[in-house]
Structure 1
């Protein structure tokens, strides 16, 4: 009886039911769209942070660079010895640690032993500036003077009658090339955490645990393309010859590291024995990162602990702006539209009940209790809510799919990472490498769909409760008064 009556009444009031369902659908569709775009923003921010951290890294431990002493330049300098010969080739590498002041390798074990830390691994960031080229020695030539014909004047001038002019150097010069690139020494025994964790080997292979002191290297794909390196190619740093065993491609965005070599060799090249510049930390519980950060800061003095949340605050650009809009304006707009949709549905349902005075009064006169009348109204509202939810899900998923298909490009400017957060690029490359372009997507999760269904049911219940309360207060006499 309930189902038959419900079907008949909804069929009689198709327009009213459709208006209520569409109102709820628009509110639910907006919630789905905003939730999906917000999820896409979060995913884009994760990609940005992955360009600074290795996957699985929760935080890094560094030490701020100390202020330079007075009189010290702190920059690279090169000294070439003078040699005889018409053309002399010179080449020199200046290897400097970067990414902050060096830390003792023993601190890696100390950090790993802190409460809440699952594992820790050290890495050494280096910047290599290579200068090579040649000097060409000039030749001194003396021009012959004409003072001999005027000896008196020559004697007065003190130059002698047969004296020549001043010697002049002709020819010669220098032609040098300067190449700067970044090198990171990685712990080959723990590559799952650290700078190589965010890289995928697309050619060749990565390090083995036995290659602690082997002169091999993994090259970033961009640098390999620039230098035309491939597996088997060789290069030299400060007289040490390395062989390329693999080409690595970052999982997202762009890597700021050109070369990866075993940590032990990096320490030797950088004259940093038993030192690291960055300690990568994995927490036992991702929900307790702030607690672990405080623990490390309290027990490992003089260090700077940087988390993903800290790095997120340095991200600016259109990605940050769009994320703020989606979080604040989008959320409040969704709430406002949804509240308006619920209110409209409740008012329309209540208005429909007031126009059915004769119907409900007659039903009560026939013996229907108030709870049965209320159930009838709530049932109709629930069906309207589910129809609105279905339409809202379809519209919301369609809008999210459209955003993903268009994939609007967002830019993100990262704060300086040279003193912490991970290995950075070499001089002159920092500005370009800190600007990333991310394609926005709007993934729709099952949680979002479940939220939409819950909102549809809630909207139906609110509208039904308001209309049912009004219907339950009607009396059989109301039906008689409404008869003309």
Structure 2
């Protein structure tokens, strides 16, 4: 009887049902779109942070390069020495200078000390290097005596006699620099190389700690026309390219990756690292792990993903603030307004059905049964609104993903003691300069099951709110009201 009457009343009052359901649908759709965009913002920020120090890394440990005024070591400056001899004229000469980049080096034992701290699941070290390569050739000059031709002079030659001069000659050298990162090949699941995808060849094997092999970033490989199987020479040592890596974020951590021991040998930095990558046993205990490392490993700077997130600015940060702030408040406001409108419309519909409900009470319906009838109709209205809202929300989220607007994430530089300088953007990963840099990230709007479940819950809640308004009004009706309205 109840469902038969409910079905008949819903068919009779289709317009009212459509108006109430449409209002709820708009509010629910807006909640879905804002929630999905916020989720997309979170994924975009995670992608930016992963590009800095790798997937699965909870924090990094580094040590700032102290200034000379504070008694620290001076930053290493590249110096080059060439021997210009007669036989070298016209022959190309080249030399490499390998320097530790960005940070003061840490002893390899520090990695073990960090790994022993409570709450640390794993810790590995890495060495960030900068290679400056100078190559070119000397050209001998031609000695000319006054008024006649003469012999040759120039670099490495005898002093020209009086009454003559040397013309031409000189040196033509190119300077090329690129970043090299020594990675611990025994821990392939931790470190900056995990933020890149091997697109050709393979990655390192755990047994290749001392092997002369290399993985090259795809952008550097394209620029230098390198392929898997080729060799690259660093400071006179040849390394075979075993793989090409493409950074998932579009910004590589380094141009060239080598086994850590090989990188330490090139830089004359035996058992030294510049960055320690740490994974915590529990993501909820990152702050306590950070405090423990800072307390027990003196002189180091610990940077977490939360520290790095605070330094991300640009359109990504602005859009994220709008989505989490203005967007959510707008969603709540629209949703509350939709609930109130649905309740008022339901209450208004009840006032137009006084004769109907009064007659039903006269026939024996209790107030609870009448109220249940009104609430049942309102819940159905809410479910219809939920279906429409989910459809509209999915369409909006799909439109955002299809358009895929590009947002910029500016990773600001900072002092040597804070995010953005040590272990942070522009300085926290291998090959990163201390200056700010900009990444471009495509925005998506993924809709998860949680969001859909939230929409269904809102639909039911909207129906109950509307039903509460109408049910309270219906419960106060008396049979006498219906008799007075009988013509």
Whether TM-score is above 0.5 comes out as yes
Alignment partner, residue 151 of structure 2:
none
Alignment partner, residue 138 of structure 1:
141
Q: Is the 8 A contact 2:27 2:331 kept in 1?
A: yes
1:479 alignment partner, one of 479, 482, 486: 482
Alpha-carbon deviation of 1:165? Answer: 8.1
Residues 1:128 and 1:408: Cα distance change in structure 2 (over 3 Å): same
Alignment partner, residue 239 of structure 2:
242
Q: Distance in 1 between matches of 2:400 and 2:236?
A: 53
Q: Distance in 2 between matches of 1:406 and 1:235?
A: 41
Alpha-carbon deviation of 1:80? Answer: 2.1
Alpha-carbon deviation of 1:75? Answer: 2.9
Residues 1:68 and 1:74: Cα distance change in structure 2 (over 3 Å): farther
Secondary structure of 1:64's partner?
Answer: coil
Alpha-carbon deviation of 1:220? Answer: 1.1
Q: Is the 8 A contact 2:51 2:192 kept in 1?
A: no
Alignment partner, residue 420 of structure 1:
423
Secondary structure of 1:413's partner?
Answer: strand
List aligned pairs for 1:144-159, cutoff 5 A: none
Moved more, 371-380 or 209-218: 209-218
1:408 alignment partner, one of 405, 414, 420: 405
Alpha-carbon deviation of 1:353? Answer: 1.0
Secondary structure of 1:25's partner?
Answer: helix
Alpha-carbon deviation of 1:19? Answer: 0.6
Alignment partner, residue 78 of structure 2:
76
1:435 alignment partner, one of 411, 433, 438: 438
2:314 alignment partner, one of 300, 313, 317: 317
Q: Distance in 1 between matches of 2:336 and 2:389?
A: 15
TM-score by length of 1: 0.91
List aligned pairs for 1:167-182, cutoff 5 A: 167-182=164-179
Alpha-carbon deviation of 1:265? Answer: 1.2
Q: Distance in 1 between matches of 2:144 and 2:422?
A: 53
1:107 alignment partner, one of 104, 110, 115: 110
Secondary structure of 2:365's partner?
Answer: coil
Alignment partner, residue 379 of structure 1:
376
Q: Distance in 2 between matches of 1:460 and 1:252?
A: 44
Q: Is the 8 A contact 1:144 1:165 kept in 2?
A: no
Alignment partner, residue 59 of structure 2:
59
2:205 alignment partner, one of 195, 203, 208: 208
Alpha-carbon deviation of 1:197? Answer: 1.8
List aligned pairs for 1:276-295, cutoff 5 A: 276-295=273-292
Q: How big is the alpha-carbon RMSD for the aligned residues of Structure 1 and Structure 2?
A: 2.1
Q: Distance in 2 between matches of 1:337 and 1:275?
A: 58
Moved more, 474-483 or 314-323: 474-483
Residues 1:347 and 1:166: Cα distance change in structure 2 (over 3 Å): farther
- Residues 417-459 of structure 1 show CA distances to partners (whole Å, capped at 9, x for unaligned) of 66424434376x966xx32222211111111100000000000
Q: How many residues align?
A: 463
Residues 1:166 and 1:461: Cα distance change in structure 2 (over 3 Å): farther
Residues 1:308 and 1:166: Cα distance change in structure 2 (over 3 Å): farther
- Residues 32-66 of structure 1 show CA distances to partners (whole Å, capped at 9, x for unaligned) of 11111111111111111111121111111111111
Alpha-carbon deviation of 1:90? Answer: 2.7
Do residues 3 (structure 1) and 3 (structure 2) align? yes
Alpha-carbon deviation of 1:99? Answer: 3.0
TM-score by length of 2: 0.90
Q: Distance in 1 between matches of 2:254 and 2:435?
A: 11
Q: Distance in 2 between matches of 1:166 and 1:10?
A: 115
- Structure 1, unmatched stretches of 5+, are 146-163
The structure with the largest alpha-carbon Rg is: 1
- Structure 2, unmatched stretches of 5+, are 149-160, 414-419
Residues 1:290 and 1:73: Cα distance change in structure 2 (over 3 Å): closer
1:470 alignment partner, one of 453, 470, 473: 473
